[in-house]
Amino acid sequence: MENNKKGQQRKGGRAKDNAMQSPEIGRIQPQARELEEAVLGALMLEKDAYSLVSDILKPDSFYDNIHQIVYRAIVSLISKQAPVDMLTVVEELKKTGELESVGGPVYIAQLTEKVASAAHIEFHARIIAQKYLARELIGFSSEITNKAFDETFDVDDLMQEAESKLFEMSQGNVKKDVQQINPVIKEALQLLEIAANRPEGLSGLQTGFNNLDKVTSGWQNSDLIIIAARPAMGKTAFVLSMAKNMSVTYNYPVALFSLEMSNVQLVNRLIVNTCEIPGEKIKNGQLAPYEWEQLDFKIKELYDAPLFIDDTPSLSVFELRTKARRLVREHGVRMLIIDYLQLMNASGMAYGSREQEVSMISRSLKGLAKELNIPIIALSQLNRGVEGRTGIEGKRPQLSDLRESGAIEQDADMVCFIHRPEYYKILEDEKGNSLLGMAEIIIAKHRNGATADVLLRFKSEFARFQNVEDEYNADGAQFMSKMSATPSAESFPPMSGNDVVPF
């Protein structure tokens, strides 16, 4: 008898342990059956009720399987532009052979008796949708918990799966109400007044590239901007030059996500860009005395600049969204830069092709730009189509050269190409003007403005893009700085060809 008692105690202990480990045991899943009945009844009573809930509910939102079947029948009638009432729903269920499974005409009649009107149908529908989302979260967390206990599952794969599912759920839950035009007109007029009161007449974020800003009016909030080029054209140098201008000159908080280079490599490129010291010398530390002074003096520009760098490799869309929200909320970041789009992944979701995955990434970036109301700049590679063409015009990139997905062109508000004719041994344009050290920013698509070609100066030894009109001033300032720091010309001998490092 004593052994039996001990056995019962052991059993009771195990049961207690199991209950503690599985808190969902004995709980009823979130549901609102009475509200489901009320919503279905209201849909069959008033013809315009469906328009109030169509964006909120789907068949799976209903907890009761019978209610799912009835709602699916109502949706079917709406799609056929047929009237929705008790009789038509009964007939539709007869056609699908599901009338008896829902309880026959009697149950359908009872649903219409549950509510007098559709006065509160939208409020009721939102509660049903919230209960559905809660059930989804419970099921998702239970599934992930079980797989986490199973050692046959790879933890990294499990993390990707969790990110993917959460991203899908959050995307499906993001809704934005329709607005009447009056408040939107007021907002547009306020932005117009702000632009009119600025001396440069820009409505967006200044890049420091004057001619580019004139065409774009600055980078605009909620825009997805694609900057594309073949390798070695200077994509990273361009966005680093721009990020430095925006964060240092205009004090805009900017975040740069680099999937290709480490934080230290990016900062070294910024030092080269800002301090005008060749990259090879920054790597080996063989700086002349005047270069050390130049470094100490000019690097102060970068201290305390609101520039945030993230070098997470193979960044997923979900990770980017999470980090971007935090940066905007905590640091007031005004623009995101991604270097580069093709190195991102779609949060572990399965796709039939890489093209489909890139399409999903570009759509997500556009959605994120709208959600955060900031411009997002994504760098992109071009395919080899440029290399196969001949002539001055043949080497200029085209929209069809965008790599891996036509959706990039479709989703982007603006597509800019970086083209350096000098790279292709094209040293003069058709008018005989020198193209040495010149770069074209080709605005090939501009959803809210004109397309144009903007000419910039590219200083390869400093990995820097700058305004053409700044060339003389920059060189003169550099010369005067050297002269004032070191009176003797012997202190700063001319740099050899080995000092120049193409970026």
Q: Which two tokens stand for residue 62?
A: 């209903």
Highest average pLDDT, of 5-14, 24-33, 129-138, 445-454, comes from 129-138
pLDDT of residue 336: 93
Tell me the CATH architecture of domain 204-474.
3-Layer(aba) Sandwich (3.40)
Q: 3-state class of 114 per DSSP? A: coil
pLDDT of residue 71: 92
pLDDT of residue 404: 61
Lowest mean pLDDT among 202-216, 222-236, 336-350, 415-429: 336-350
Q: By the 8 A CB rule, do 227 and 380 touch? A: yes
Pairing mode of beta strands 376-381, 464-467? unpaired
DSSP 406: T
Lowest mean pLDDT among 20-29, 40-49, 75-84, 465-474: 20-29
For the stretch 159-210, pLDDT in tens is 877 776 776 677 666 555 566 677 777 877 877 777 677 666 677 888 888 8
pLDDT of residue 155: 82
Highest average pLDDT, of 24-33, 322-331, 428-437, 479-488, comes from 322-331
pLDDT band at 376 (very low <50, low <70, confident <90, very high): very high
Arithmetic mean of pLDDT over the chain: 78
Lowest mean pLDDT among 160-174, 254-268, 270-284: 160-174
Summarize the confidence of residues 210-221 as an average pLDDT. Answer: 88
Lowest mean pLDDT among 267-276, 369-378, 401-410: 401-410
Report the C-alpha gap between 417 and 441 in whole angstroms. 6
Lowest mean pLDDT among 60-74, 272-286, 384-398: 384-398
CATH no. for 33-167: 1.10.860.10
Domain with CATH 1.10.860.10 in the chain: 33-167
Domain with CATH 3.40.50.300 in the chain: 204-474
pLDDT of residue 172: 63
User: Edge to edge, what strands does the sheet with 452-459 contain?
Assistant: 307-310, 254-258, 335-339, 376-381, 224-229, 414-419, 438-446, 452-459, 464-467
Q: In this model, does residue 473 exceed pLDDT 70?
A: no
For the stretch 233-248, pLDDT in tens is 888 889 888 998 888 8
Q: Which of 168, 260, 293, 461 is catalytic?
A: 260
Show the CA angle centred on residue 132, arms to residues 346 and 167, nearest 5°.
10
Who wins on pLDDT, 199 or 37? Answer: 37
Summarize the confidence of residues 379-398 as an average pLDDT. Answer: 74
Burial 19-34 (b: 16+ CB within 10 A, else e): eeeeeeeeeeebbbee
For the stretch 54-90, pLDDT in tens is 878 889 999 999 999 999 999 888 888 888 888 999 9
Q: Which two tokens stand for residue 271?
A: 């030092």
Q: In this model, does residue 158 exceed pLDDT 70?
A: yes
Q: In this model, does residue 490 exceed pLDDT 70?
A: no
Whether 276 sits among the annotated catalytic residues: the reply is no
Highest average pLDDT, of 186-200, 270-284, 295-309, 326-340, comes from 326-340
